[in-house]
């Protein structure tokens, strides 16, 4: 098993990164909104405080004169601690004529404006400092009160309140992140277990299967993996049988060649050497035929590509193959015919399709006795549900009174394996179809409705 590398892509890491990223973004929005809310609430609290003090002072009769001593409105007892939110307020009181009657606090004196009332932010003093003020006349308009607070002090209060609002969220962020990471890790545990079980699979073992999971989301994945394992086992078993048959088929002619060579070396009579040489030639051709079939099988297995596809005339391909095997059929006293219309167009790989048709014709020539009638047929399928076209090779080699020639040159059916793989490459079906008298054997390829461009 390969070791995990931090640079490798990981579903766990991606989920954690995206989840934490989303969490941080949401948390940042929360902090921003909490800060703005805290500032706004602090501003409203301060303005309300200014208005409350002004209304309270408007109800007091007989305020001291301006020549009396003034001081900051702070707690004076040593044992009493000033509150964090206690503010340094300043008060100005004018009479109806605009004369300053009373002043308290460190705020500078403002110019009297009889018409101005309510909240205002003003710049006053030698340092041109910003102040927040609230001014109002009493009901008789005999006395006007202005309560003032340094703007910096108000902002400090606002920032403090906002900070108090966002601080719990900042403390909770790492806790929530840790809990989120643990939750994701726990939630992905079934997937990690399935991944480990798949990684530990041995495709050579026919008994190994993936166990079903209690989570229904894994049902399709487990079923697909098990189906893939079943197909893999079928392919492996098929390849093992094919390898055994190939070894057996090659061992027989090669062993015969060795024995015949030894007999040839021991033979003294020239006349006795002729049948031995003929047998060596036959066994050599048989071994060469098996090797040719193996090469064709490998070539058909490499045909899974998008190149080599073109629109061909299936009927013309059948006529060309029949013409090439006409001499071989004549030498065996066989007949080979083509039953097809002038044109059967199909989008296919002509090289592979010709190889498959050659194998079917060769099987008909090699596996039947002399005097056999062989017919190659093709046409467009009249039933659209079954496919686009069909191609078949029929013979009457197994008719009554005819003996099958032995030994068979292709006893392991490599030719049929080649045809089956070529058909699979074209999305077609290769099968042994029913025969119409007088024929006794028919092998047919049914082509599906092939698109203009094949997939892949």
111-127 pLDDT, tens digit per residue, is 888 778 888 888 887 77
For residue 6, is it within any domain? Answer: no
End-to-end Cα separation, the chain, in angstroms: 31
Q: 368: domain CATH number?
A: 3.30.565.10
Q: Is 360 exposed, middle or buried (0-12, 13-18, 19+ CB in 10 A)?
A: buried
Q: Are residues 251 and 399 in the same domain?
A: no
Which whole number is the average pLDDT over 134-156? Answer: 85
d(CA 38, CA 25): 20
Task: Tell me whether residue 127 is in a domain.
Answer: yes
Helix axes 189-199, 219-266, angle to 10 degrees: 0
Rg over CA atoms, the chain: 50
Q: Which residues neighbour 41 within 8 Å (Cβ) at sequence distance 6 or greater? A: 161
Q: Tell me the H-state helices in 267-309.
A: 270-301
With the C-alpha atoms ordered 259, 265, 270, 272, is the resulting torsion angle positive or negative? Answer: negative
Length of the chain as a residue count: 456
| Residue 388 belongs to a domain | yes
Q: Are residues 166 and 236 in the same domain?
A: no
**Mean pLDDT across the stretch 328-349?**
92
**What's the sign of the alpha-carbon dihedral 300, 302, 449, 312?**
negative
Has residue 77 been placed in a domain? no
Check if the beta carbon of residue 441 is closer than 8 Å to that of residue 434: no
Beta bridge partners of 375: 337, 394
**65-112 per-position pLDDT tens digit:** 555 444 544 545 544 445 555 667 888 888 888 888 888 877 778 888
**Of 166-180, 249-263, 424-438, which gets the smallest average pLDDT?**
249-263
Percent of the chain with pLDDT over 90: 16
183 and 47 in one domain?
yes
Sheet-wide strand order for 143-150: 100-104, 90-95, 143-150, 129-137, 118-124
Helix or strand or coil: residue 421?
Answer: helix
**362 with 415: CB under 8 angstroms?**
yes
Say whether both 135 and 177 belong to one domain: yes
Residues 308-318 have pLDDT tens digits of: 789 999 999 99
Provide the CATH number for the domain around residue 234: 1.10.287.130
Domain assignment of residue 80, yes or no: no
Q: What is the mean pLDDT of the chain?
A: 78
pLDDT surpassing 60 at residue 412: no
- pLDDT score for 63: 62
- CATH number of 125's domain: 3.30.450
Domains held by the chain: number: 3
- 437 and 345 share a domain? yes
> Which uninterrupted H or E stretch holds 102?
strand 100-104
Name the most confidently modeled range: 207-216, 228-237, 364-373. 364-373
* 149 to 55, 129, 134, 156: CA distances (angstroms): 16, 11, 9, 12
pLDDT in the model for residue 305: 52
Q: Judge whether 311 lies within some domain.
A: yes
Q: Which of 183-192, 257-266, 418-427 has the lowest mean pLDDT?
A: 257-266
Would you say residue 354 lies in a domain? yes
334 and 424 share one domain:
yes
The residues, any chain, with a CB within 8 Å of residue 359's CB and separated by 6 or more, are: 293, 296, 415, 416, 418, 419
Q: Do residues 50 and 105 both lie within one domain?
A: yes
- Confidence bin at 215 (pLDDT 50/70/90): confident
Based on the fold, state whether residues 16 and 130 are members of the same structural domain. Answer: yes
Distance CA 196, CA 204 (A): 18
285 and 434 in a single domain? The answer is no
Do 19 and 46 sit in the same domain of this protein? Answer: yes
Which residues constitute the domain of residue 258? 216-289
Edge to edge, what strands does the sheet with 389-395 contain? Answer: 335-340, 373-380, 389-395, 441-447, 429-432
230 and 321, same domain (yes or no): no
Structural contact between residues 244 and 231, judged by C-beta atoms closer than 8 angstroms: no
Tokens 């020539």 identify what position? Answer: 365
The last residue of one of the domains, among 242, 260, 289, is 289
Q: Dump the DSSP string for 103-123.
A: EESSPPPPPP-TT--EEEEEE
pLDDT at 455: 44
Contact by Cβ (8 Å): 363, 415: yes
Co-location of 413 and 283 in the same domain: no
Residue 126 belongs to some domain of the structure:
yes
Q: Give per-residue pLDDT as tens, 417-437.
A: 888 888 988 889 999 999 998
Predicted local distance difference test score (pLDDT) of residue 123: 82
Final residue in a domain of this structure, among 240, 256, 289: 289
């Amino acid at each position: 098993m390969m070791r995990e590398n931090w640079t490798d892509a990981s579903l766990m890491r991606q989920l954690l990164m995206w989840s934490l990223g989303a969490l941080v973004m949401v948390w940042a929005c929360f902090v921003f909104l909490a800060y703005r809310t805290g500032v706004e609430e602090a501003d409203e609290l301060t303005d309300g405080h200014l208005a409350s003090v002004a209304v309270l002072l408007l109800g007091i009769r007989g305020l001291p004169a301006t020549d009396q001593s003034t001081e900051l409105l702070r707690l004076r007892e040593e044992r009493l601690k000033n509150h964090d939110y206690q503010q340094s307020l300043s008060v100005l009181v004018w009479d109806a004529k605009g004369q300053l009657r009373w002043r308290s606090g460190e705020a500078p004196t403002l110019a009297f404006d009889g018409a101005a009332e309510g909240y205002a932010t003003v710049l006053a003093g030698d340092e041109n400092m910003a102040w927040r003020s609230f001014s109002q006349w009493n009901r008789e308009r005999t006395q006007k009160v202005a309560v003032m607070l340094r703007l910096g002090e108000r902002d400090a209060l606002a920032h403090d309140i906002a900070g108090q609002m966002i601080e719990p969220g900042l403390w909770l962020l790492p806790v929530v992140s840790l809990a989120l990471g643990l939750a994701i890790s726990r939630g992905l545990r079934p997937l990690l277990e399935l991944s480990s079980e798949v990684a530990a699979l041995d495709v050579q073992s026919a008994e190994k299967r993936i166990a079903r999971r209690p989570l229904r989301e894994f049902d399709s994945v487990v079923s697909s993996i098990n189906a893939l394992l079943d197909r893999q086992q079928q392919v492996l078993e098929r390849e093992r049988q094919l390898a055994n048959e190939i070894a057996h088929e090659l061992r027989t002619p090669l062993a015969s060649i060795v024995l015949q060579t030894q007999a040839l070396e021991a033979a003294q009579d020239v006349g006795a050497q002729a049948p031995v040489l003929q047998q060596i030639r036959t066994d050599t051709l048989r071994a060469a035929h098996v090797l040719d079939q193996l090469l064709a099988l490998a070539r058909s297995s490499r045909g899974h590509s998008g190149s080599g596809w073109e629109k061909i005339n299936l009927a013309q391909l059948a006529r060309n193959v029949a013409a090439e095997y006409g001499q071989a059929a004549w030498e065996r006293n066989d007949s080979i015919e083509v039953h097809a219309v002038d044109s059967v167009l199909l989008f296919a790989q002509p090289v592979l399709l010709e190889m498959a048709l050659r194998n079917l014709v060769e099987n008909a020539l090699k596996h039947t006795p002399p005097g056999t009638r062989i017919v190659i047929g093709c046409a467009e399928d009249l039933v659209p549900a079954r496919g686009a076209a069909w191609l078949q090779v029929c013979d009457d080699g197994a008719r009554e009174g005819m003996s099958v020639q032995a030994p068979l040159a292709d006893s392991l059916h490599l030719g049929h394996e080649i045809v089956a793989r070529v058909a699979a490459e074209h999305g077609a079906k290769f099968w042994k179809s029913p025969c119409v008298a007088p024929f006794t054997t028919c092998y047919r390829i049914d082509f599906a409705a092939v698109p203009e461009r094949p997939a892949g």
